[in-house]
Structure formats: C-alpha cells, structure tokens
Amino acid sequence: MDNLVQERNFNFQRDKYMSDKNIQEFLSAGVHFGHPTSRWNPNFKKYIAMKKNGIHIIDLQSTISCLEKASAEISKLVRSGGNILFVGTKKQAKDVIQQQADRCGMFYVVERWLGGTLTNFSTIKKSIRRLAKLEKESSEIYDNLTKKEVNMLERERIKLSDLHRGIKDMKHLPSALFFVDGIHERIAINEAYTLGIPVFGMVDSNTDPNTITHPIPSNDDSIKSINIVVSYIADVILEAKGGNKDNSENELENNSIELEEESK
C-alpha cells in the first residue's frame, strides 16, 4: 500500500515537473500571446487567462492539456497505420511544417491549398501522375517536341512540383489533418470535415475553437511558437511509429534559431 502511494506521489511530481517545464518553454516561445482584444472570437473565452496591454493572454495550462489530448489521438491513429497531413501555407508556418513533416515521415501542403485536394482527390491524383510523367526524362511525352514545347512542359513541371511536392506519394486520403491557423486554412478544414476526417491544429484567440475537432489554443503567428508545437506533434508521431527523437530538444532549439533568422 505504501509503495502504491509512493508511486502515485512520484507520478504526480513527475507530471507537475513536466507541466512546469513545458510552460517555461512555451512562455519563452511566446505561445501564450493572443491577438488584440478587439479581434477576439468570444468562443475562445475559455482558453483566455487574462488581458495585458490590449492583448489576450492564452492560458498555457489549457494549451498543454489540449496538446496532450490531441497528441494521444494522433498517436492512436499513427499506431493503427494512419497518416497525418500537415497543412501550413502562411509564411510563418511553411518552413516549420515542411521540416517537421519530413522529419516524422508525413505528408504536407505548404504552398497554396488547391480546392478539392481532399474532396476531389481523384483529380489531384491525376495531376500527380502527370507530374510523374513530366519528371521522367525518358518519358514519351517529350518525343518529337520543339524547344518551345519542351520549355512549356518544363514550366508545367516546376509548377506542379511546387504544388504537390509534399503529397506526391500520398496514395490515399489522410487519417487526420493537422494545420496552423484555423482561419487561414479554413478551406482545407472544411474539406476534411466534409469527408469526416478529424482535424487537429493551432488556433489563436481570433478563431472559433468549436469548429475544430481537437483545437490547440496557441499563438499561430510566431515562428518560435509554431515550431515548438509542431515539433511536439512530430515527436509524438515518431514515437508512435517506433522511431526515436534523439537530440530533439537541441534540434528544436536549432530549428527555431534558423527559422527566426530566415524570417528577418
């Protein structure tokens, strides 16, 4: 009985330490900064801790709680063989989304979201097959063409490569969608909902969290904030796939520094 009590106390202290550690990291990354109070969504009220200098401050305990719940669900999906589609087409999110999706072996969209990417996936697959033909130098598509026609096909290849580079190998619809900024990615979110695909993502104080399956209240405009949350999700996916996240803390810090420098 005493051993059981000691184990529970140890687990409580460990969980409290991890929570405190995460809060300090999140504070340093500015995850708690919301939008000006004039731009808030009333449905976000439950995730707001206070107002400061005209800005809403997000409750980081809520952020961590929501992140852990979302991570548990994503882990279940990945363990059962599912794939996650990362979406981040805004400037601050592009590099982070691509790096972390590549790191955990998942698909991503960082350029313009093409309407119908999910709801009209058969057409997208045709476009990807077209890209595969264009990328094959020995393809018969290049036979007996003039230099001008070859240049036109090259421009088409570059355009399709930019649009589809993160989903070229996606043979089926994803098991879930993870996004950054619920307002910016509303078309992708709506398509996922239409198909019954669960949606996870970072939502700021100007977003209605009730429209998201698993919202993670957080600053979705700061590169550091996006990096720390998306990296956490990538780590969860790696663990669920049976991989490891060696030096993940150092990698997270290095990526954050690099991304901040690139944004300047």
What is the percentage of the chain residues whose pLDDT exceeds 90?
A: 64
Tokens of 146: 């003039």
Residue 11: pLDDT over 80: no
pLDDT for 21? 56
pLDDT for 7? 42
Domain span at residue 69 reads: 2-118+173-263
The single-letter code of the amino acid at 190 is N
Residue range 81-125, pLDDT digits in tens: 999 999 999 999 999 999 999 999 999 999 889 999 999 999 999
Tokens of 37: 């109070």
Which residues 6+ apart lie within 8 Å of 251 measured at CB? 231
pLDDT interval class at 19 (50, 70, 90): low
Provide the whole-model pTM: 0.81
Alpha-carbon gap, residue 96 to 110, rounded angstroms: 10
133 belongs to a structural domain: no
Residue range 143-178, pLDDT digits in tens: 767 778 778 888 887 887 777 889 998 999 999 999
Q: How many domains does the chain have?
A: 1
18 belongs to a structural domain: yes
Tokens of 62: 């809520």
Phi and psi at residue 198, in whole multiples of 5°? Answer: -65, 145
H/E segment holding residue 134: helix 121-135
162 belongs to a structural domain: no
The single-letter code of the amino acid at 233 is I
152 belongs to a structural domain: no
61 belongs to a structural domain: yes
Residue 245: pLDDT over 70: no
The single-letter code of the amino acid at 24 is Q
Residue 260: pLDDT over 90: no
Alpha-carbon gap, residue 180 to 178, rounded angstroms: 7
pLDDT for 83? 96
59, 47 Cβ separation under 8 angstroms: yes
Which residues 6+ apart lie within 8 Å of 116 measured at CB? 123, 124, 191
Here the CATH number for the domain that contains residue 202 is 3.40.50.10490
pLDDT interval class at 261 (50, 70, 90): very low
15 belongs to a structural domain: yes
Residue range 189-208, pLDDT digits in tens: 999 999 999 999 999 999 99
38 belongs to a structural domain: yes
pLDDT interval class at 129 (50, 70, 90): confident
